[in-house]
Amino acid sequence: MPRKAPRPCRYPGCVHTTLTAIGYCEFHAHFYQPPQRHKDTRPSAASRGYNKDWQRIREDVLRGAGIPRELWHLYDIHHQPEYNPEIDPDHRNYALTPLLHGDHSRETGRARGAGGKSLGPGRRDRTCPLGFHSSKMGEGAE
């Protein structure tokens, strides 16, 4: 006896059921397409200007914002204006602000014309322990 109940096939209009993880019955299993990962074709991070010197600068920015070391992995450093090593390779000549990863991705997307979906005031796509949020960096920790 199966451990879980059969589900309807994912193919539109199909009346068959399935127990497979892909969600298609045996007649429509050939329609399943595994998720495709986007291949990163950019040059290495070091060749784009994010080398050992950048790691030290990043640590200084996060430490200066009062973010505990155990939370550093949640943050990206936002360059204002956008970092361009061909114009100015020195990171310290940019305004550097720590932002939660989701907030940084949204800001970068907006700057590059991707729009970016707002989560509304007071909402975040990722919560950070201990109350450290991107919008509170100027105010200090809670």
Read off the pLDDT of residues 50-103 as tens digits, 9 standing for 90 and up: 899 999 999 999 999 999 999 999 999 998 888 888 888 888 889 999 999 999
User: Is the same domain home to 25 and 67?
Assistant: no
User: Is the same domain home to 26 and 54?
Assistant: no
- Residue 78: which domain range? 49-116
Is residue 105 predicted with pLDDT exceeding 80?
yes
DSSP 8-state symbol, 127: -
Q: Of 133, 139, 52, 50, whose CA–CA distance to 99 is shortest?
A: 133
> Does residue 121 sit within a domain?
no
User: Is the same domain home to 55 and 11?
Assistant: no
> Does residue 130 sit within a domain?
no
Q: Of 89, 8, 16, 20, whose CA–CA distance to 50 is shortest?
A: 89
Residue 49, SS3?
Answer: coil
- Please report the pLDDT score of residue 87 as a whole number: 84
User: Is the same domain home to 59 and 88?
Assistant: yes
> Does residue 39 sit within a domain?
no
Q: Give the residue, 103 or 133, on which the prediction is more confident.
A: 103
> Does residue 70 sit within a domain?
yes
Domain count, the chain: 2
**pLDDT tens by residue, 25-50:** 999 999 998 888 888 898 888 888 88
**Inter-residue contact 25 to 16 (CB < 8 Å):** yes
User: Is the same domain home to 53 and 27?
Assistant: no
Residues 16 and 102: their CA atoms lie apart, in Å, by 40
Handedness of CA 68, 55, 78, 92 (dihedral sign): positive
> Does residue 22 sit within a domain?
yes
- Please report the pLDDT score of residue 55 as a whole number: 93
> Does residue 127 sit within a domain?
no
User: Is the same domain home to 15 and 54?
Assistant: no
Rounded-to-5 percentages of helix, strand, coil across the chain: 30, 10, 55
- Please report the pLDDT score of residue 108 as a whole number: 83
